[in-house]
């Protein structure tokens, strides 16, 4: 399979390939024809990029133990992003000339070359000094290679996995039967002393399988029958009473009150709905130690019918003691050695025949020992070994120093770290980018594939595979390695600890606003930015983003609540300054009009304006020649598209479902490969 073949290990290496691809197009070459001096400079740029590219793998390996190398790599990362912007800008100008040539004279096919010879001296006059600076900066990086002892290492060949027919059934759980029965017994028992509801807390390490166990119990037939009223909510690290209440109401299929922003009215509603009912609520992953918050929350449940139960899963024993009686605490233990082995076998040995198995079993047993009976670790390392077929490769994993690294500042499980470091280089970037999603966030396939595509993380589509298929293969690879999970309704999500890993590897360039750990001096490097939209998102909320230089993704994460408002000042004054943006989503904001300056975002590939209140789009949006995806679904006021929409020659996906468009602009049919929804 193509993904597995794309070897090379550093994440930045995959990006460098993207940069080379930009210089490899015909249009790019044509621009410089007959400009000897400029051509030489471009050649020098390529040579320099190759020189740093050759030592990237070595640098990535050494960065954990050498902070100078780490700094070098980080600065280089930013520099390559800037180089990419420069080259993309040149390509965009070539694209502009091509489109305009076509549009200014629609009857004849005017050769793009004719226009490139008239390619404005002004434009190149502006770009070439920047390329020159870039070359000089790269010279500086090259000078450091020898002093830091960086070397060219030959890529290690990995065996290529034969495509498997099906994914492992992730639902099978090992070694939890006894635990399950005990907890179900606690649930089904009537409370002795006449209290209305009982809290049972399941306590255990991260990765031990608390949520999995709770799900097993929640889905059990006996439990289903016993509790007609049930809801599940993920609490996670940032405790938000309004969100929890809302999600409980949604889980109980109760329509939200009209004043759904008002915490008090939400809570009154919930409390009323639960009164006199026998309910089961699961509060998954509780972190909040504040007694006050718990006290306020539990009031909502007090009207329940006797025998109602609340399961709270948490890593923190102190929390368990705070919220329930000692006898209602269930401490989840590690799973037994045999169960570890069964779990491992199931995930690692699929597609391996008898002989292979025999050869690998002994090493496998030793590897399982290193996982310290933690199911998540076993599953992840098994997922990694699934694609490795030789004893040498298995030995490599067994003796890896990652198992014993103690200076692991992020506290990431060794098995997870290993799994990441063995990902092919493109997948590393795709995985790291998932850090934009907060814990427990469930995303749709399309959302992640668009995000990857807009950021050039996927390989270019080929003859027989479109971008969507490529995206699906990547998703599958990540699932096989247990780095992503798929829920029963087809949404994707990450285990908490895997989310921590994604955050750790993308720490410098991926930032979620709700995280508190923004390191000083880091802002300049942020490329991916996500946050929760609020009813009033003011200018101040985003002001710190002024300092970013490479912001490529701007992503509000919302579950489709509309009525959120974005500051006009932000929209008009700040947004157009994020010149590097590739992915922009303004979903569900009550926006009536986009500023013309949106057309300054020349690099934009993806624009989601769904569920906004736009009546028209500015005409100049048609000069976003790189735009591939434009989502305009459920724009209830949008009646027409800009006249020259046909200029958007890279547009391949347009979603206008649920928008009352009256007619399509002329020449839309010329857009090759445009698909609609
Ligand atoms: C196409 O026409 C527009 C105005 O009609 C002009 O501004 C632009 O420079 C022309 N483009 C080319 C490539 O001639
Ligand atoms: C377009 O090309 C045709 C044929 O070459 C020419 O007759 C016409 O004048 C051109 N139109 C414009 C607007 O340049
Ligand atoms: C430029 O355009 C003219 C027609 O306007 C054509 O005859 C000529 O071959 C073109 N030049 C190139 C290099 O394509
Ligand atoms: C239990 O719920 C009933 C209503 O269902 C309520 O009247 C009673 O006060 C509750 N008991 C406690 C201890 O809160
Ligand atoms: C675009 O916005 C809509 C409306 O909020 C949302 O449902 C959808 O998931 C978004 N699409 C992508 C691909 O992000
Ligand atoms: C259009 O799609 C087909 C197959 O889906 C592909 O072969 C072709 O290269 C695409 N063309 C463009 C311009 O993207
Ligand atoms: C970003 C992107 O897909 N750009 C493409 C736009 O279309 C031109 C030609 O049609 C391609 O060469 C670019 O790669």
314 within some domain: yes
84 falls in which pLDDT band (50, 70, 90)? very high
Domain, as residue range, for 341: 337-403
Say yes or no to pLDDT of 406 above 70.
no
* Interatomic CA distance for residues 261 and 317, integer angstroms: 33
As separate numbers, helices (DSSP H) first and strands (DSSP E) second, the chain gives 26, 17
Residues 547 and 653 in one domain: yes
Average pLDDT of 452-464? 91
Domain of 570, CATH number, reads: 3.80.10.10
Residues 583 and 474 in one domain: no
- Strands (DSSP E) contained in 464-559 are 485-486, 492-493, 510-512, 528-531, 536-537, 553-556
* Interatomic CA distance for residues 139 and 366, integer angstroms: 46
How many angstroms separate the Cα of 85 from the Cα of each of 66, 457, 585, 643?
29, 15, 20, 29
Of 29, 34, 109, 114, which is best to mutate to test ligand 3, by the most ligand atoms within 8 angstroms of its C-beta? 114
Domain of 280, CATH number, reads: 3.40.50.300
pLDDT at 143: 97
Match 């020189």 to its residue by tokens.
Answer: 51
pLDDT at 487: 84
Residues 347 and 378 in one domain: yes
151 within some domain: no
411 within some domain: no
- Which atom of ligand 5 lies at the shortest distance from residue 444's CA? 9
480 falls in which pLDDT band (50, 70, 90)? confident
Per residue in 160-208, pLDDT (tens digit) is 444 443 455 666 789 999 999 999 999 998 866 778 899 999 999 999 9
Say yes or no to pLDDT of 107 above 50.
no
Final residue belonging to a domain, choices 294, 315, 331: 331
pLDDT at 259: 64
Query: For residue 314, what are the contacts with CB-CB under 8 A and spacing of at least 6?
Result: 201, 202, 203, 210, 285, 286, 287, 320
Residues 310 and 209 in one domain: yes
Say yes or no to pLDDT of 6 above 50.
no
64 within some domain: yes
Say yes or no to pLDDT of 260 above 80.
no
Residues 660 and 519 in one domain: yes
Of 190, 195, 196, 295, which is best to mutate to test ligand 4, by the most ligand atoms within 8 angstroms of its C-beta? 196
154 within some domain: no
Say yes or no to pLDDT of 132 above 50.
yes
275 within 8 A of 304, measured Cβ to Cβ? yes
649 C-alpha to center of ligand 7: Å?
8
Per residue in 553-603, pLDDT (tens digit) is 999 997 656 578 888 999 999 999 999 999 999 987 889 999 999 999 999
Final residue belonging to a domain, choices 374, 403, 432: 403
Residues 516 and 587 in one domain: yes
Residues 321 and 462 in one domain: no
Above pLDDT 90, what percent of the chain?
57
Closest CA to ligand 7's atom 4: 626
Which range is least confidently modeled, 56-60, 163-167, 261-265, 282-286? 163-167
Mean pLDDT (the chain, rounded): 87
Residues 585 and 649 in one domain: yes
* Interatomic CA distance for residues 491 and 419, integer angstroms: 22
**Gap between the terminal Cα atoms of the chain:** 30
Number of domains composing the chain: 5
pLDDT at 114: 54
Residues 502 and 512 in one domain: no
500-528 burial, b at 16+ Cβ within 10 Å, e below that, comes to: bbbbbbbbbbbbbbebeeeeeebbebbbb
27 falls in which pLDDT band (50, 70, 90)? confident
Query: Which ligand has an atom closest to residue 100 CA?
Result: 1
Average pLDDT of 442-453? 95
Per residue in 525-556, pLDDT (tens digit) is 899 999 988 888 889 999 999 989 899 999 99
pLDDT at 593: 92
Select the highest-mean-pLDDT range: 46-50, 153-157, 354-358: 46-50
Average pLDDT of 342-352? 86
101 C-alpha to center of ligand 2: Å?
11
Neighbours of 221 (CB within 10 A): 7
Per residue in 233-248, pLDDT (tens digit) is 999 888 989 889 999 9
Select the highest-mean-pLDDT range: 258-272, 393-407, 498-512: 498-512
In SS3 terms, 328-368 reads as HEEECCCCCHHHHHHHHHHHHCCCCCHHHHHHHHHHHHHHH
Final residue belonging to a domain, choices 369, 403, 437: 403
pLDDT at 358: 87
163 within some domain: no
Domain of 438, CATH number, reads: 1.10.10.10
Model's pTM, two decimal places? Answer: 0.86
Per residue in 89-102, pLDDT (tens digit) is 999 988 888 887 77
541 within 8 A of 564, measured Cβ to Cβ? no
Residues 530 and 628 in one domain: yes
Above pLDDT 70, what percent of the chain?
89
Residues 106 and 119 in one domain: yes
553 within some domain: yes
142 falls in which pLDDT band (50, 70, 90)? very high
387 within some domain: yes
For 570-573, the CB contacts below 8 A with 24+ separation are 570/537, 570/538, 570/539, 570/541, 570/542, 571/595, 572/597, 573/539
Query: For residue 446, what are the contacts with CB-CB under 8 A and spacing of at least 6?
Result: none
Query: For residue 475, what are the contacts with CB-CB under 8 A and spacing of at least 6?
Result: 445, 448, 449, 484, 492
105 C-alpha to center of ligand 2: Å?
6
Residues 67 and 194 in one domain: no
Match 């029958």 to its residue by tokens.
Answer: 225
Per residue in 620-654, pLDDT (tens digit) is 999 999 999 999 999 999 999 998 888 898 998 88
Does ligand 2 lie within 6 Å of residue 165's CB atom? no
């Amino acid at each position: 399979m193509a993904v597995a073949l794309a070897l090379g290990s550093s994440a930045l290496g995959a990006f460098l390939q993207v940069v080379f691809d930009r210089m490899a197009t015909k249009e790019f070459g044509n621009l410089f024809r007959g400009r000897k001096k400029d051509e030489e400079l471009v050649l020098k740029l390529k040579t320099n990029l190759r020189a740093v590219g050759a030592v990237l793998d070595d640098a990535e390996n050494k960065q954990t133990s050498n902070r100078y190398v780490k700094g070098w790599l980080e600065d280089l990362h930013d520099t390559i992003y800037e180089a990419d912007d420069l080259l993309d800008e040149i390509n965009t100008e070539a694209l502009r000339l091509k489109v305009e040539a076509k549009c200014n004279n629609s009857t004849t096919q005017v050769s793009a070359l004719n226009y490139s010879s008239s390619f404005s001296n002004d434009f190149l006059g502006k770009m070439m000094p920047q390329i020159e600076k870039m070359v000089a900066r790269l010279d500086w990086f090259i000078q450091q290679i020898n002093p830091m002892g960086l070397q060219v290492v030959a890529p290690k060949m990995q065996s290529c996995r034969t495509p498997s027919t099906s994914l492992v059934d992730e639902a099978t759980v090992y070694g939890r039967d006894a635990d399950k029965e005990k907890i179900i017994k606690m649930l089904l028992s009537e409370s002795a002393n006449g209290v209305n509801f009982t809290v049972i807390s399941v306590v255990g390490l991260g990765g031990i399988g608390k949520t999995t166990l709770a799900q097993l119990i929640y889905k059990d037939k006996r439990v289903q029958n016993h509790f007609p009223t049930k809801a599940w909510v993920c609490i996670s690290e940032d405790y938000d009473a309004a969100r929890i209440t809302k999600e409980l109401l949604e889980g109980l299929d109760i329509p939200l009150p009209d004043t759904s922003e008002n915490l008090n009215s939400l809570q009154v509603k919930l409390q009323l709905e639960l009164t006199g009912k026998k309910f089961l609520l699961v509060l998954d992953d509780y972190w909040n130690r504040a007694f006050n918050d718990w006290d306020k929350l539990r009031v909502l449940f007090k009207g329940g019918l006797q025998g109602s139960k609340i399961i709270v899963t948490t890593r923190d024993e102190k929390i368990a003691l705070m919220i329930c009686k000692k006898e209602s605490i269930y401490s989840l233990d590690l799973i037994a050695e045999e169960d570890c082995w069964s779990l491992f076998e199931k995930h690692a040995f699929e597609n391996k025949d008898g002989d292979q198995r025999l050869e690998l079993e002994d090493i496998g047993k030793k590897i399982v020992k290193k996982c310290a009976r933690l199911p998540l670790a076993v599953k992840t390392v098994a997922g990694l070994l699934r694609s490795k077929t030789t004893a040498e490769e298995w030995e490599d994993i067994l003796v890896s120093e990652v198992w014993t690294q103690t200076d692991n500042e992020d506290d990431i499980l060794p098995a997870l770290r290993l799994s990441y470091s063995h990902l092919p280089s493109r997948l590393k970037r795709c995985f790291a980018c998932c850090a934009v999603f907060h814990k427990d966030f469930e995303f749709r396939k399309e959302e992640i594939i668009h995000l990857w595509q807009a950021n050039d993380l996927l390989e270019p589509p080929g003859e027989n595979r479109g971008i969507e298929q490529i995206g699906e293969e990547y998703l599958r690879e990540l699932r096989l390695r247990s780095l992503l999970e798929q829920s029963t309704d087809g949404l994707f999500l990450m285990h908490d600890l895997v989310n921590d890993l994604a955050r750790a590897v993308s720490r410098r360039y991926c930032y979620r606003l709700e995280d508190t750990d923004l390191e000083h001096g880091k802002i300049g490097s942020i490329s991916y930015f996500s946050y929760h939209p609020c009813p009033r998102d003011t200018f101040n909320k985003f002001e710190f983003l002024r300092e970013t230089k490479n912001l490529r993704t701007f992503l509000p994460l919302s579950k489709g609540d509309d009525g959120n408002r974005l500051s006009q000042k932000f929209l008009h004054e700040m947004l157009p300054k994020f010149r590097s943006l590739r992915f922009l989503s303004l979903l569900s904001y009550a926006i009536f009009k986009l500023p013309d300056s949106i057309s300054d975002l020349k690099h934009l590939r993806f624009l989601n304006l769904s569920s906004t209140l736009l009546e028209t789009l500015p005409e100049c949006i048609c000069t976003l020649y790189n735009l591939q995806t434009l989502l305009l679904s459920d724009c209830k006021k949008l009646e027409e598209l800009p006249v020259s929409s046909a200029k958007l020659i890279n547009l391949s996906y347009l979603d206008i479902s649920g928008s009352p468009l009256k007619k399509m602009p002329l020449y839309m049919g010329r857009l090759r490969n445009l698909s609609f929804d």
